[in-house]
Structure 1
Amino acid sequence: MADLTPHSRQPSELELPSEPDRSVVAPRFYPRFEASPPIDPFERLDLSSVFAAVWQARFRIVGSAILFGVWVWLLAGLLTPRYEAMAFLRIDGDGFDALSEGRRDPNRFVDPVVLSTRVQSIKSAAVLGAALDAAGIAYSAEFNEGLARTAEDRRKDQASNARQMSETEKQASLLTEFAKRVDVWQIEQSGVAAIKVKANDPILAARAANAIGDSYIAQQIQEKRKTRLQALDALLAQQNEMTRKLRGIEDSIASVRADRKLVFTEAQDIRGQVLGKTRELLIAAEADLAEVERKRIVIEQARDGGVESLSLVTFSDLIQKLKEQRAVLSVELGQLASETGPSHPRYQAVVSGIAKLDRAIDEELKRVGASVRTTERGLRDRVQTLSKRLAELNSEVTDQATSRVHLDSLETEVQGLRYSRESLKNEIDKLKTALGLEQSEANFVSRALPPEKPSFPRRSLIAAGGTVAWGGFFAFAVGVAALWNRQVRSPADTAAFETIVHCPVVGALPAAGRRFAITARQLPLEFAEGLKRIAEAIRLGPVGPVSIVISSLKQGDGGTTAAVALARLSGQAGLTTVLVELDARRRITELLAAQSAFGLADCAQSGVNPVAAIVPKPDLGFHVLTHGRTGDGLGTRADAALDQVFETLKALYRVVIISAPPLSQSPRAFWVGRNVDHVVVVTTADKRRADVLARFFRFFGGAVPGNVAVVFNHVDAKYHGSLL
């Protein structure tokens, strides 16, 4: 064995070991591994172990699922039952009940927008308020409990001297609680609306659903009666005004006939008739002009006043229809604002629809306004023409003729007023006859009956769902645990690992504690035993010179530690050993404090003699050739330079151990391994590492060379002795 005592001579003066006998060549410790091509790691998913684990735990899974289902079934029995009662209301009718279905007009069409508005009005505050009183909701303990909670929260938030809730606030709170239990929707595209009420009392739920339908029908009848009364009041006021005006004109005619005793000639009578006819036409034209001016003013007010003034534009059916559509979208927008918020796509779509309707209304107002202004200009021209003609007639007749014309015009006006009053009287009589005979456009298709079974909780459904959910969760947990439990624990697992990577596992090193130091005077017993088994597997002994490349699969797997430990074992066994640092990270330099002016990079790049760069470590029993201070990691050097360095070291030492960088960072271990005896890859004892290592083998050269072996590191102490 060479002298490994430290000395102060220059590196060129070191006493190198004598050249070993290289006539004896260490045989390969295993033949080339022949097997099928490796499995793609991305296609390898051991589902058989998952199914096996689930099948093995089937009794536990089924038993626990049944117990969980029973527990959920018992727990559901403690919940307060909730009943749902449903009533169906026809809202597209024309006032006829179900027995008068044959009297309906088969061609009658109801706008879907109108139907949607009616469905929304069923849940209005007025209808629900009336149903609240009719069904006796205010006296229900169920709803009063919610009201009490509201009052209690209010008392906590307010000061000690805060006022109590007023009757209006109580009614509003009760109405809010009731509205939460009511749901109304249109059944598909039909004219039938469904009213559903949820309550803890089945009788109360049915009574409330029927009360909502009755209240909606009563409200429709009341609205129709109110509309008729308003129309009747307007017609009566118009009739009184017409009667007063007629009496005034009749008095004027009598006064003219009494005060002016005039004799009219035939010519004067003709001119008077012409004058009267012209005045009659002028009056009609002025009336038409006044009506057109009124329309123009209404249109201007509508454009300036917004949507609230559109109700004045009664002469345009299209504007009224657009107004109804906008009202429907406004109601929907209010609901979406409380349910989804302004950022929701549906909310934005409704806002866009309202804007589109506003533009359509404005365009229609412009069109109607242009038409009205055109008509107004024509009527003004006609009024001016008739006025001019009337002035000409007035200039042609005498004072007597003027009086006669005036009298004729009064008589003509009286006749028109009498005819108008008679027509108005007929309309008033029709309204009085129809008053009190109003019928709703809605009627019950079927009334709500008290439900026999609660809608919530459905104990059997909840128990079945809980059983299935718990069983699925338990099976999933068992499968995931089996899938992720990939640690190598037995010789069978090791054999499976070797089948995947196509090379043997020659040793296992136990997991070292935090206080483990590779430079310590005494290595742990289990660690030393593992090193000995690895040395035996690779024929590390006096048989012949041995060159070994040691690399790790990934950083942190322990490749550097294994290289130093194996070099230490070889040196302590009396074999001349050199440890070469091929890793540019210079972990060995830091670990062993092996500082030198030259290194492997200097030998390869600058032609420095490797002997000058060797650093002896007599305390550990081997020499070290560090990487050197060059930081480029030999990435630009040709293969021949490093081969020459390694051949020089092989000629001087019996054991040459090369510490290569991890395979995940560089393939240099396989490149160097083509001219060495053994390539040892250090990795953790994890089944998943087999797929990763096989992928590296395929990437770096296809088939696995026959001198590659795997060493497990960081093996759990429980399985350390049972892997090989």
Structure 2
Amino acid sequence: MKTATRNTGAAEVVTLGYYLKVINKFKWRIALLAILVTTLAMVWALQLTPSYRASATLLIEAQQRKAVSFEEVYGLDASKKEYYQTQYEILRSRAIARDVIEQLNLLEHRDFQPKPSMLSWVMNDIKQWVKQYIPQKPQTLPSTADAQQAYEKRMQKIITAFSRRLSIHPIRKTQLVVIAYESSDPALAADVANAVGEAYITHAMQAKMGIAKQASGWLNDRLSILRERLDKSEQKLQSYREREDLVDIEGVVGLVRRELEQTAQQLVEAKRNQSELNAIMRVVDEYGRDDIARLESINEITTHKVIQDVKREVVTAQRKVSELRQVYGPKHPKMIAARAELATVQENLSAQIRSLVMGLEKEMRTANSTVSALQQDVEQLRQRFQMLTRKETEYHQLKREVETNRNIYDTFLSRSKETEVTSDFNSPIARFTDYAYQPTNPAKPNRKLIVVLAFVATLGFGIVLAFLTDALNDTLNNAEEVENKLGQRLLGVLPSLPSSKRKPLPTHTFFDKGKLAFAEAVRTFRTSLVLSQMDRDNQVIEVTSSVPGEGKSTTSINLAFSLGQMEKVLLIDADMRRPSLAGRFSLPAYQPGLANVLANTQQLEECIHVDEQSNIHVLCAGQIPSNPLELLSSENFKALLAHLRQQYDYIVLDTAPLEAVSDALVVSQHSDSVIYVVKSGSTRQGLVKAGLHRLIDAKANICGVLLNQVNGKQKQGHNAHYGYYDSHGYTQANAPT
């Protein structure tokens, strides 16, 4: 299961073991925090005043019983959800709360009395002292208005406190609502819950009665106005009928409408006939009235029955003449008689055509007269119809006004009668299904739950705080972090041993039989160092760190002890700013050393001290110079190391930390390898990386990192002394290195 991050080269893997390790690291702190907060919560819970909770159940009627249905007067619709929501808010209203407070006289109850605080006690004592020693102006009695204002202000505060203790909870999918109240007095809790329900019922009934009476009065006032309006509209309608002499306006208008339609139809027919006659006469005038032959070609003349009969006679006479011409000569009496008969018939045809033309002309004049007469009739009928429709429209307007006024009057009259009948009908809007009873056990505080929740919450918070602290901790704590985050070889891990913060680890702990694990860790470190540098010369070894307090001097001493078991070793205190080796080996402060040799004030043999227990040689820093960096950069230091290489197998240099001064960088130019000491759980990664980069830039041979003061049970806390090696504080402090 992946739960925590751990860098593995290119990717980050999370493991459950990491979380368990963090919890185990901070377990005592988490437990202490949880116990402390739980104890405080227990003390606080024991001091809390018990609060009792009583509840009553109220049934809100969906359809109130009423003598006559007149819901419109109240504007209530019990079928809607908004109705019940409105009732719940009325139960929570300040008006109901005020009625209950005044009814039960809660102004003087202890629940609503201000609780004196330490500050108020002090202020009262100060006021009493001021009254004793400082003359006071005579106080005037407050006016009635001021007293009323103060009373109202106090009442509003109590109503607010009362509302916070009151809770209204509707039961889902029912018409039931639970009224609950909390108080330090169990009897008062039950009384208030019942009083709220009763006040709500009384308030609703009073509101209904008040609305009914107000509606009744308003309806009666409106009825008199509507009665007058109805009478006026009826009188106006009757006056109009009499003035216009109207009996059946709808029938008269219908009769005139039909007459107008018939006359208009006759006019259309007359105009069509007129148009036909005018067309015929135009053709006759065009052909000429004497040109019988052309007149015969007119269709209206040809198709006339009289003309057709005469034409048949002409045809018969012509056929007879044709037949006789084949038998007789032109002078034969029968031929003469036949021609005479033909001429008579043709003259008759001409006469009939002329007569027909004259008849058509006379008929045309008659048609024109008829069209003119019909047009006059239609115009007269149209004017009469328009006049009648205007009267009908005005009549209907007056009639509608009468009907509207009568409907409104009848509606108001009906509502007025209903209101009068039901105004004194006291139907409750709700009723109790369960009255509140005096509780025997307090509802809160639940002291056990408070203590348990405080413990659990603090425990969880402590764990989260532990993870947050660990996440913000960017120090180095184990070999894996050294190799992955610094990219350097881990030479060894030295365990943390119990010691005083003001006193360093005893110098010869390496040889203490009770500290075999520490000695074995030093030997492992020595072996790793030797094996890592087998392919090159590793005679001069420099030991440095980022900041003071990381144990570089202790590391140098124990490295020299471990190397001295096999080879001849010289331990040099190259930290000439804050030397510590003289004190660690119980040498006097005036013991000459490296600074004296480099300044040519002492001989080398006079400055070297031999430790009898470890058999290593020690060269202390000597007298603290004013220019240690110049001495380490001099040719004398280089020549001294070259001379010492001839006499010793290993030379261990304890140098100043890198973050303070540049001494270690100068010394690294004359060293075969550099060991970088990092205090576990203390030094930040940024400082270590900065120091390593400085050494790399100086082309020093960094053989690896030593992780110092590693606690197997718990990592060291953040105790890095940043700025310790500055130009002012380095030589003034006296902390262990």
User: Does TM-score exceed 0.5, indicating one fold?
Assistant: no
Bigger RCO of structures 1 and 2 (CA < 8 A, at least 6 apart): 1
Higher Rg of the two aligned structures: 2
TM-score by length of structure 2 reads 0.42
